[in-house]
Structure 1
Amino acid sequence: MIVWLNGELMDERAARIDPRDRGFLLGDALFETLLARNGNIAFLEEHLVRLWAGANILGIPLPVSTGHLAVACEMVLEANGLIDAPRVALRVTLTRGPGPRGLVPPENPAPTLLISAAESASPPASQSAIIATPRRNALSPTSRLKAAPYLDNLLAREEARARGADEALMLDTSGYVACASVANVFLWEGERLVTPAEECGILPGITRAAVLELAGRLGIDAAEEMIMPQRLPRADGVFLTNSLIGIVPLSRIETHEFEPHRMTARLKAAYELLLEADEDEEGRS
């Protein structure tokens, strides 16, 4: 694989990260995962703006412009022969770079910026989920950032795997539904769409925002609320969203099974049209 590291394309076997890098030692880092289809990177601007905003919050200087990053992403696709691939996962990782021992950041950070790419499988038709033991800390400012420390999410996903499920739904420390290990959560209550509020310590996902916007266009009543887990089995349908899977319904949470909700299919179709329209626009530019 060819990666882009600090401004240079190179074979991944030749890539070297400083052993003092705080991303490696402390998880002092941000990342973005993007979907590319046939060379078009979905919601590229939104992802890079979120990376830039998170870097500002953490005080990590972005060493290149977002425009330069966009070009670098395309360079990685081309260098790996993935321009025509139907589905590619791009990952942009930004760390604070090397620093002295301890927690105090260096006064003049030299950030590490890495872009990699790999072909991505088609999303599943549906998934099953459990309610996981690890909780989201809604009081932590990093809960709303695409930040590198992902151990709680990793433990939640491992718990799901051990219990024979695909995904893990995570509650916040107050007991409200927050998110899945790598996705946002939506519930159908009748034909009303509900998703956990940002106050529950969720990452405000790019696809989540697109779904809420699409719901408004389609005349669907949508709301962000504090959702207790007792509402989950009473829901008429549940689905997950993230940049790679798009919209995927849950067929089961714990032992409760869900029938497909007709409005999920309608939203999925609208989301697909949104991606195709973006691809057509890119093709004409």
Structure 2
Amino acid sequence: MVATVSIEDRGFTLGDGVFDTALALNGTVFARARHLDRLMAAGEAIGIAAERARIEKAIDAALKPAPTILRTTLTRGSAARGLWPTSTGTPTVVVTTTPWSPALLGQPARLVTASGRRNEFSPTANLKTLGYLDHILAAREAASAGVDDALILNTQGRVACTTIANLFVLIAGRLITPSLGEGCLPGIMRALVIEAAPALGLAVEERPLSPAALIGADAVFLTNSVRFIRPVRSVNGALLARDGAVDALMEALAAQVARECGVPLAPT
């Protein structure tokens, strides 16, 4: 599929938009309503009034039987110059697809702490906006260090997220993840893990988390909608433990995928 976007589109010129990334298996988007709810809420938060039915139609047109990563981009559309436009046209909606492989599941990650900070006070801290340059530069730091991802701290020096994922630590049967007030995104997989944990005997806490808490934890893992759960092997060279509870969480998520999409998450 080829899409043409105007050179005056504010997503292109100013990063004025939001996006969502989801996994589709067997022609079904996993946790589809959650993804759409978050995208619509993010658009509304920055003043983009898009029709949900239009976005649904664009997603349906992009679906295919093969395992696919869908990225749905929503921008304010075209407008005259100026930061806040007096008027805009129809919002731009673009859905792109990329093949997905189950090989992405379970790959351990090595992290390095990024030099930049995530501003938890920003009005866009909890929105998946198009302005990703801070995380791009953090990813460059990770690549330069020869590791897989970068741990990003907030302005108080506490854990916020990584460049592409939410973060959890397991300590003595308690699953701890930074609260949204710490500057992380309201990840779909983050929410699903929080919901699945109690049935596995894991208490959940959303609270501030210091980088030191990662060292000595029973397990540290990352979550996003493409890789689901990714165990963290090391942070800044320090090796981390891995607990079987992480595998149990992954099994619970895989069972949910099978129920919604009608196929196993990965070949058995």
Normalising by the residue count of structure 2, what TM-score does the alignment of the two structures yield? Answer: 0.93
Answer yes or no: is 1:226 the counterpart of 2:208. yes
Checking the alignment, whether the CA contact within 8 Å between 1:44 and 1:70 is kept in structure 2 is no
1:255 CA displacement:
1.2
Aligned counterpart, 2:23 = 35
Aligned counterpart, 1:118 = 98
Counterpart CA distance in 2 for 1:236 and 1:150 is: 31
> Which of the numbers 214, 232, 244 marks the counterpart of 1:250?
232
Aligned counterpart, 2:42 = 54
Answer yes or no: is 1:236 the counterpart of 2:218. yes
Percent of aligned pairs sharing the same letter: 37
Counterpart CA distance in 1 for 2:128 and 2:230 is: 21
Counterpart CA distance in 2 for 1:161 and 1:42 is: 30
How many matched pairs? 261
Counterpart CA distance in 1 for 2:48 and 2:89 is: 7
Q: What letter is aligned with 1:175?
A: G
> Which of the numbers 122, 125, 131 marks the counterpart of 1:140?
122
Provide structure 1 residue ranges, at least 5 long, that are not aligned to the other structure.
3-11, 78-82
Structure 1 vs Structure 2 CA RMSD: 1.4
Q: What letter is aligned with 1:69?
A: I
Counterpart CA distance in 2 for 1:101 and 1:209 is: 39
Question: Per-residue CA shift, 1:123-145, capped at 9, x if unaligned?
Answer: 15211111111111000111100
Counterpart CA distance in 2 for 1:191 and 1:128 is: 23
Question: Per-residue CA shift, 1:143-174, capped at 9, x if unaligned?
Answer: 10011100011011110010010011100011
Checking the alignment, whether the CA contact within 8 Å between 2:114 and 2:142 is kept in structure 1 is yes
Report SS of the residue matched to 1:250. Answer: strand
Provide structure 2 residue ranges, at least 5 long, that are not aligned to the other structure.
264-268
Answer yes or no: is 1:84 the counterpart of 2:72. no
1:68 CA displacement:
4.2
Counterpart CA distance in 1 for 2:143 and 2:20 is: 24
Answer yes or no: is 1:74 the counterpart of 2:55. no
Distance 1:242 1:178, change over 3 A: same
Answer yes or no: is 1:188 the counterpart of 2:180. no
> Which of the numbers 95, 98, 102 marks the counterpart of 2:78?
98
Counterpart CA distance in 1 for 2:4 and 2:96 is: 14
Question: Per-residue CA shift, 1:20-39, capped at 9, x if unaligned?
Answer: 11111110010000101121
Answer yes or no: is 1:130 the counterpart of 2:144. no
Checking the alignment, whether the CA contact within 8 Å between 1:95 and 1:111 is kept in structure 2 is yes
Checking the alignment, whether the CA contact within 8 Å between 2:169 and 2:214 is kept in structure 1 is yes
Aligned counterpart, 1:8 = none
